[in-house]
Amino acid sequence: MDSLSDILSGLRSDGIITGRFTLGAPWGFTKNAIDGVPFRIASGGSYWINVQDCPPMHIKSGDLVMLPHGNRHIMQSDLGVPLIPFDSICDENGLSSEPVRPIALRSGGSGEMTDLYTGIILFRESKKNKLLSMLPPIIHIHAEEINISPWLTSSLKLFIEESMACKEGWRFQAARIAEILFAAVMRIHLQKKPKGSQEWLSGFNDTRIAQSLLLMHKMPQHEWTIPELASEVGMSRSRFTCLFQQLLGISPISYLTSYRMTLAANQLTSEKCRIIDVAEKVGYSSEKCFSRAFRKWSGITPRAYLQKHLNA
């Protein structure tokens, strides 16, 4: 059973913005928070990254880092190197700080060179997505761990290089490759993650909670209740609710509602469906009840959400 694929099936990428940064030591910059999931993989010199309240991490050549929350962060060739805003580096290179196409830039001094292959995976409503919000602020995959998937490093670098040319169909290709990349990182992270950490992947540490997640993901339209879910996985209601909350930090019904709204948002903007059709696909027989739940999740009604994306 491919549990991870079932869990990730509702997480669709809108695309990816790629770039290649050539950085000569000493170098250092601050990067503002973004609505996306940045990743970095480097060759050459090592560097340090500091994400919000996390301690600085030393990143070596070949390591991959991913920032699931898109938090503000600092990157520098060595601790103590003066920092400049990333926007200023973009200005120096004649680039937009909010690009819609791949970017290439050079910065820093004449010391050891770091080639930074970078990207931002764009997920619709990433800030409201429970799958992403339950992940840690930074995921660090060491080079030797990436060897679990030996194709990952070479394929990723090749893809970024090719994306710079923006050939016909590159946007569609980029969106699909972004999903493959995210799934590969999640698989490696799952294999190395210590038990007991509170994030959605922790549900896989308990086969019963994993089964309940799969049930909700496979049949989001079903009228799931706590008693039914608990019965399906062979647990009492109280024990099931307590363990689910303990492992994922959220109640089963809150998780289900968030997942349903994530699916609905994707369907509203990618399929030609009536709102009631979308509502029924995610378990609501009443358009009014669905609209109320969607508004609570997104801040606007389904109709306004659809119009917003049509005008984007």
In tens, the pLDDT along 162-180 reads 777 777 777 777 777 777 7
Among residues 137, 130, 133, the alpha carbon closest in space to that of 65 is found at 137
Tokens for 183? 């799934």
Give 193 or 117, the one with higher predicted confidence.
117
Segment 274-300 shows an average pLDDT of: 93
pLDDT reading at 290 higher than 90: yes
Tokens, residue 124: 């619709």
Least confident interval from 38-47, 110-119, 163-172: 163-172
What is the rounded CA–CA span in Å between residue 125 and residue 35?
Answer: 8
Q: For residue 196, name the pLDDT band (cuts at 50, 70, 90).
A: very low
By mean pLDDT, which of 68-77, 114-123, 140-149, 267-276 is the weakest? 140-149
Rounded Cα distance between 2 and 242, Å, is: 26
What is the model's pLDDT at position 252? 94
Task: Report which of residues 123 and 258 the model is more confident about.
Answer: 258
User: Comparing 232 with 156, which gets the higher pLDDT?
Assistant: 232
At a CB cut-off of 8 Å and minimum separation 6, what does 77 contact?
23, 25, 26, 27, 28, 45, 47, 48, 108, 111, 112, 114
Give pLDDT, residue 9: 64
Q: How many C-beta neighbours within 10 Å does residue 125 have?
A: 17
Query: Measuring CA to CA, how many Å separate 145 from each of 5, 45, 153, 204?
Result: 20, 19, 11, 20
Stretch 109-133: mean pLDDT, rounded? Answer: 84
b (16+ CB within 10 A) / e for 99-120? eeebbebebbeeebbbebbbbb
Give the pLDDT band (50/70/90) at residue 217: confident
Q: Where are the beta strands (DSSP E) in 157-303?
A: none
CA 215 to the chain's CA centroid: 22
134 vs 64 pLDDT, higher one: 64
Confidence of residue 1 (pLDDT cuts 50, 70, 90): very low
Residues 175, 266 contacting (CB under 8 angstroms): no
pLDDT grade, residue 147 (50/70/90)?
A: low
Q: What pLDDT, on the 0 to 100 scale, is given for residue 200?
A: 52
Alpha-carbon 267 to chain mean position: 19
Confidence check: pLDDT of 65 > 80: yes
Closest CA to 164 of 104, 106, 207: 104
- For residue 203, pLDDT beyond 70: no
- Measured between alpha carbons, how far is 306 from 269 in angstroms, rounded to an integer? 6
What's residue 101's pLDDT? 75
Point out which residues pair with 16 in neighbouring strands. 121
Give the confidence band of 144 by pLDDT, cuts at 50, 70, 90. Answer: confident
Q: Is the pLDDT of residue 149 over 70?
A: no
Position 19, amino acid: G
**Which pLDDT score is estimated for 227?**
96
5 exposure class (CB count in 10 Å sphere: 0-12, 13-18, 19+) = exposed
Question: Given this model, what pLDDT does residue 89 score?
Answer: 93
Average pLDDT over residues 260-273: 83
pLDDT reading at 104 higher than 80: yes
User: Of the ranges 1-10, 115-124, 190-199, which one carries the lowest mean pLDDT score?
Assistant: 190-199
Q: What's the mean per-residue pLDDT of the chain?
A: 84
